Amino acid sequence: MKRSFLPMAILALTAGAPVLAEPPRTVPSGILHRISQDDVAEVDRRLREAIDRRGLRLMTVIDHAENAAGAGLELPETRTFLFGNPAIGTPMMQCAGSLALDLPQKMVVRTTSEGTRLEWNDPHYLADRHGLGDCELPLDKVAGVLAGLAEEAASS
């Protein structure tokens, strides 16, 4: 079954996306990442602003370290941002309902020995995972928006 996206929704999602100096790093699991030398609080602030500038909806931020502390455990600062644009995500889920397992989009911001690491799923990986090959989806544009968000959040 072929689906097409509304051109205006795509433009709204990609408007103002920066050109990246280097491509995001990826691993075979489909996880892309960027590293920032700023602390989690500063990366958090910039990511929220970047999400807002693009007109995306921030659904929630899960503070895993806070949740771990509530259970008497320790975890380095780790936050998961859930955000998206229903005009983009809905057609993807219409193509394959299982994609609801991975939407809305997520980005993890966490403290590592390298610095503050931002991680997200490569949309092309998700398309393969959920068998979206028969659908017309702007995966490159979605990938560019996610990489742009990470770039803005990681950059001082």
The pTM of this model reads: 0.82
Which of 153, 113, 134, 126 lies closest to 20, judged by CA?
153
In a domain, 29, yes or no: no
Quickly count: other Cβ atoms within 10 Å of residue 112's Cβ: 13
Tell me the C-alpha distance between 142 and 137, whole Å.
9
Task: Tell me which residue has tokens 């691993």.
Answer: 27
Which of 3, 6, 15 lies closest to 86, judged by CA?
6
Q: What is the pLDDT of residues 65-121, one digit of tens each?
A: 999 999 999 999 999 999 999 999 999 999 999 999 999 999 999 999 999 999 999
In a domain, 68, yes or no: yes
pLDDT band at 134 (very low <50, low <70, confident <90, very high): confident
Total number of domains constituting the chain: 1
In a domain, 54, yes or no: yes
In a domain, 59, yes or no: yes
Q: The domain containing residue 99 runs over which residues? A: 40-154
Q: What is the mean pLDDT of residues 37-50?
A: 98
In a domain, 73, yes or no: yes
In a domain, 87, yes or no: yes
